[in-house]
Chains A and B, each alone.
Chain A
């Protein structure tokens, strides 16, 4: 009987000790871990110095519009290209016809300096644009990369690691983009209603 009472007391003691320990841990230890680290002004300056301005050419109102954004500098050009194209889709996702949540699955470069961008299937399955929208999306991707890096000759887009015939049924995607997107839009003329 005496033993039983002792066991009950021990269990209660451990329970109370555990609860108290948890309380002190949550109150005094965890908040300190969650608090943002105090960054010294010198470190802040160094981080700002490590940012690089990139030009993003976004399809907007049936034309390309250039915007400047700051991205963290990357040493490897492939990593930089990935960051630039991720930023492109992040910004372009607000535009009509441009699919949202497009992910960059990978970027590779072949010996002929052709850059391969592997994008998620959202690009194709959710694309809802007309011929001009498709042209501007492809041109925007190409021009964005050309504006920010020089060490590639051409750009090829893959979807889920595969070569696909077309993105939206208007332009070939099975060939590199340079020859498709280089011509400038011209002779835009309207026949007005009489």
Chain B
């Protein structure tokens, strides 16, 4: 009798363990970020592919509801400009002051993108319009200050000396790759990290000269090419500088190559994909200047070439792509990196 009871008890224990496994639900990790470009706010909800693929987005007059298949934890920036409420397996984003909303799903990484067009009086840094806004709008805009920012999140302003040249007031620096995209890599080198470090050092040097700098990314994150392009085009940059690595032995400076013989000259000047046309001469001048500076300080110099790179061709500003050589024999230590920054500075701000 005792052994029968023991067996039943053991079976019950096994059953309970199995059923707890069966009914246990994993909690998904979701991250929310947003980008603001004039009146357009783009909210990106990123998570595991399976979770995002099975999520359901419902747009109503009052907000956007995202229903997820599992319970979730949401990480969102503290300065998120809309009210986001989490309830059970749903996330509700209030769309007050929003005139138009649309959403779509993208992969690699899996994400839901919600685009919202806000009212013109919707305050710049987020939230509801406040009483003081009306007064602020009547005041003249503040003078340009040094800033660094990532996707619309600009750093706090600091007083700086005036810009040395009226030609270069804002430079957008784009460290190539990031996140799951490593770029070129060896055992002790990753293009995404080195390009970011280089961009930050260069940014610090430019800030000292009183030039406003915007970094397309400040951390190790994946950033679509389109967002890199928008970062420059929405800020009326005076120069766009993309930093990458090359497997060649010399530096490579690339400008846009715009070859569209089938298009009318006037159309070509204003075609969205060929915005660089208007700035091509200036881009080439800057490329030549940087190339000459590199040739003086580094062996075996630099090669200038033209490629139809979208981060250059779609840019409505002078734009160049600098590639530093990375071979088995050539890597940059801190000293070399500082020398490289000084040389690039000579090319950009002679």
Contact residues of A with B, CB < 8 Å? 62, 96-97, 128-133, 135, 162, 164-166, 168-172, 179-180, 182-194
Number of B residues, CB within 8 Å of A: 45
Q: How many Å from the CB of B345 to the closest CB on chain A?
A: 17
B298: nearest chain-A partner, CB-CB? A193
Interface of A is mostly: loop
Number of A-B contacts defined by CB within 8 Å: 105
Q: Verify if B225 is at the interface (C-beta below 8 Å from A).
A: yes
Can you offer 11 A-B residue contacts whose CB atoms are under 8 A? A130-B245, A131-B323, A135-B308, A169-B181, A170-B311, A171-B309, A179-B308, A185-B305, A185-B307, A190-B301, A191-B302
With both beta carbons as reference points, the residue of chain B lying nearest to A96 in the complex is identified as B247
Does B176 sit at the interface, judged by CB under 8 A? Answer: yes
A94 to B244, CA, bound (A): 24
- Taking A165-B225, A184-B259, A186-B257 as contacts, is the C-beta distance between A130 and B304 under 8 angstroms? no
Given contacts A128-B184, A188-B304, 4 further A-B contacts (CB under 8 A): A62-B248, A191-B292, A191-B295, A193-B298
Q: Is the CB of A171 within 8 A of B244?
A: no
* Residue in chain A with minimal CB distance to B192: A169
Q: Which 6 A-B pairs have the closest CB atoms?
A: A191-B295, A183-B259, A130-B246, A191-B291, A193-B299, A193-B301
The majority secondary structure among interface residues of chain B is mixed
8 A Cβ contacts from B217-258 to A:
224-226, 244-248, 250, 252, 254, 257-258
Contact B108 A191 (CB under 8 A): no
Residues of B within 8 A of A (CB): 107-108, 176-177, 181, 183-185, 224-226, 244-248, 250, 252, 254, 257-260, 288, 291-292, 294-296, 298-311, 321, 323
Q: Point out the residue from A131, A183, A184 that lies within 8 Å of B321, measured CB to CB.
A: A131
Q: A183-B259, A194-B296 are in contact. Are A132 and B301 (CB under 8 A)?
A: no
Cβ of A165 and Cβ of B303 under 8 Å apart?
A: no
Q: Which residues of A contact B248 (CB under 8 A)?
A: 62, 130, 132
Of A165, A168, A171, A184, which contacts B224 at CB under 8 A? A165
Whether the pair A189, B304 counts as a contact (CB closer than 8 A) is: yes
Known: A171-B310, A183-B308, A188-B305. A128 touches B185 (CB 8 A): yes
Taking a contact as CB atoms closer than 8 A, the residue among B176, B257, B292 that contacts A169 in the complex is B176
Beta-carbon contact of B224 and A130 below 8 Å = no
With both beta carbons as reference points, the residue of chain A lying nearest to B108 in the complex is identified as A164
* Known contacts A128-B184, A169-B177, A191-B295: A135-B301 contact under CB 8 Å: no
> What residues on A are CB-neighbors of B310 within 8 Å?
171-172
